[in-house]
Amino acid sequence: MHWKPRNWMSIGVLLAGMTITGAAQVATTQVADTIYHADGTVATGTVLISWPAFTTSNGDSIPTGSTSAVIAAGGALSVQLIPNAGSTPIGSYYTAVFHLDDSSVSRQYWVVPVSLAAVTISAIESTVLPTTVAMQTVSKSYVDTAIAAAVTGHPLDSTPYVLKAGDTMTGPLVLPADPVSATQAADKNYVDESVAATSSGLGQKVSTLPSTTQVVVQPADTQLEVNDLNGVEYASQYVNGRENNGIANALAGPDCTNGCEVRAGSAN
């Protein structure tokens, strides 16, 4: 079967005014074309057209139905159909079954757009068959577009992936667990626990440059070597009694085993 558009006067069957909630009539699009046999001669016959229930892009609810159109003398076909392009559910098609005068039968799937001008069959024949058809075919253009979209990280129907080269997320990133290696991303829980541990440890540290008096709680069974500051020993800390020689005591003490600097005041 072969179709070739021609300028001709419309002869056809109207998909008569479906009424939606009252007398309001839904706008239709005219499908008009000339039908040929494979040998180039014009064909006559009948086209049986059926459709599932769908909701148009304008929100009109269309129930399941069917109609037929006569392929008149000269191969003329004309039928008015409610546009199903952009309808829901996705994948709503008109099924057109051609019964021609040479006893041949063929099937097509149509997606009809909103159009004030008549559209030809070649313009509405879908390149993607419904999911109910076992063998689906697509055009080269569809495949090329899908491959290009996959390469950029964004599939045809949505953009759920974050690009490796940089992208913007619209929601929070949830990690499966705290990091265990240096290059893994850290979650909030890991950071909070690390900060808490550091803060608790700082309370037991002596600041080398305290801004004010610093109170340090000395752990049990430990000795705070207050006289040992950067290898400098102060003799005053080693005086055991009146006129006791703090300098000699410091030099003889364990803190100066490997050598030290002893500083003394006038009383040492």
Regarding pTM above 0.85, the answer is: no
d(CA 208, CA 89): 72
Domain containing residue 13: 2-124
In a domain, 223, yes or no: no
Query: Does any domain span residue 159?
Result: no
What amino acid occupies position 232?
V
DSSP per-residue codes, 152-217: TT--SS------TT----SS----SS---STTSPPPHHHHHHHHHHHHHHHTT---SS-SS-----
Q: Do the domain assignments include residue 155?
A: no
- Domain membership of residue 120 (yes or no) is yes
Say whether pLDDT at 37 is over 90: yes
Distance CA 251, CA 267 (A): 17
- Residue 185 domain-assigned? no
pLDDT tens readout for residues 160-211: 667 777 778 778 888 888 999 989 889 899 899 888 877 776 666 666 676 7
Number of domains in the chain: 2
The last residue of one of the domains, among 104, 124, 144, is 124
Asked if the structure places residue 165 within a domain, the reply is: no
The residue from 92, 124, 156 where one domain ends is: 124
**pLDDT tens across 86-140, in order?**
898 887 899 999 999 999 999 999 999 999 999 999 999 986 666 665 455 666 7
Query: Where is the domain boundary, 124, 156, 185?
Result: 124
